[in-house]
Amino acid sequence: NAGVTQTPKFRVLKTGQSMTLLCAQDMNHEYMYWYRQDPGMGLRLIHYSVGEGTTAKGEVPDGYNVSRLKKQNFLLGLESAAPSQTSVYFCASSYSSGPGNIQYFGAGTRLSVL
Amino acid sequence: AQKVTQAQTEISVVEKEDVTLDCVYETRDTTYYLFWYKQPPSGELVFLIRRNSFDEQNEISGRYSWNFQKSTSSFNFTITASQVVDSAVYFCAYQAPGYSTLTFGKGTMLLVSP
């Protein structure tokens, strides 16, 4: 049982390049989330999805796009990477939106934009 | 908007010492959930505990205990007889009613030396 799997684990981009981060969960969770973690900032929500085909903006959505074509996958895209997007990205999933739902996290993707 | 404050950026203790990590939150909601997550050096976030705002009973799990005080808007985490394996960044998080998303504090890095 893998839980939440993120690929790749590390990536280096040049300014202006694009890339897609993949998040896959095998827990049949309805909800999925993308966060970024920066030193001294904690985790901040980028986008989230309440179900297949549905996405919503979080606290820091600018410069990112997401897609949820399949229930088990949640993709995070950077169309034109900027140095400010250097961060560690975490994907999470939860069973429902019910009160107290627990989010389960992947191992993270460390992205550097030069 | 809700706010979670973890005022202690970094704490250093020697093994076997007790240590308390503070979490203070601001909200106008009457019902909500609070969480603690652990991020060991390996990077993944691990769920530790969830607490409903109506349940003010303290909770103990082995060497870990949590003190929730609604009157002071605090949800503090104590590790008794700390061990080197407790070294990690610990995050407190808030979940508003009707929302699945989490608002994280900036985290407290705990360093336990032998």
Bond prior to B97 in cis (omega within 30° of 0): no
Exposure of A35 in the CB half-sphere (CA atoms within 13 A): 24
Q: Are B55 and B106 in contact (CB under 8 A)?
A: no
Q: What stretch of H or E contains A50? A: strand A42-51
Q: Does B95 touch chain A (CB under 8 A)?
A: yes
> Using a CB-CB distance cutoff of 8 angstroms, which residues of chain A are in contact with residue B44?
105-108
Asked if the C-beta of A96 comes within 8 angstroms of chain B's C-beta atoms, the answer is yes
Residues B3, A96: Cα–Cα separation, whole Å: 23
Give the mean model confidence (pLDDT) for residues B15-37: 95
d(CA B89, CA B6): 11
Q: Confidence band (pLDDT; 50, 70, 90) for B56?
A: confident
B-chain CB neighbours of A31 within 8 Å are 100
Residue B16 in tokens = 């076997």
How many Cβ contacts (< 8 angstroms) between chains A and B? 60
Mean pLDDT over the full length of chain B = 93
pLDDT tens column, B83-113: 999 999 999 999 987 777 899 999 999 999 9
Looking only at the bridges linking them, the beta strands covering A109-113 and A10-13 are parallel
Cβ contact, residue pair B91, A43, below 8 Å:
yes
Q: CB-based contact (8 Å) between A101 and chain B?
A: yes
Flag whether pLDDT at B30 surpasses 90: no
- Of the candidates B97, B99, B107, the beta carbon closest to that of A42 is on B107
Rg (CA), chain B: 14
Q: Which residue has the tokens 């082995």?
A: B62
| 3-class DSSP assignment, residue B73 | coil
End-to-end CA separation in angstroms for chain B: 41
Write down the pLDDT at residue A68. 96
Q: Is the model's pLDDT at A37 over the cut of 90? A: yes
Residue B17 has pLDDT above 90, yes or no: yes
CB A11 within 8 A of CB A20: no
Sorting pLDDT into bands at 50, 70 and 90, what band is A43?
A: very high
- Residue A40: predicted pLDDT: 83
| Residue B85 backbone dihedrals phi, psi, to 5 degrees | -70, -10
pLDDT at B60: 87
* Nearest CB neighbour to A31, from listed B42, B44, B100: B100
**Mean pLDDT along residues A46-66:** 94
pLDDT at A97: 66
Contact B7, B22 (CB under 8 A): yes
pLDDT-based confidence at residue A22 (cuts at 50, 70, 90): very high
Residues from chain A contacting residue B101 (CB–CB below 8 Å): 33, 45, 48, 58
Residue A60 touches chain B, beta carbons under 8 Å: no
- Nearest chain B residue to A94 by CA distance is B100
Alpha helices in chain A (DSSP H): none
User: What is the dihedral angle through the alpha carbons of A39, B33, A57, B6, rounded to the nearest 10 degrees?
Assistant: -20
Position B36 pLDDT exceeds 90: yes
Span A71-104, pLDDT tens digits: 999 999 999 999 999 999 999 999 876 778 899 9
Surface of B (58-87) touching A: CB under 8 A: none
The pLDDT, as a whole number, for residue A1 is: 61
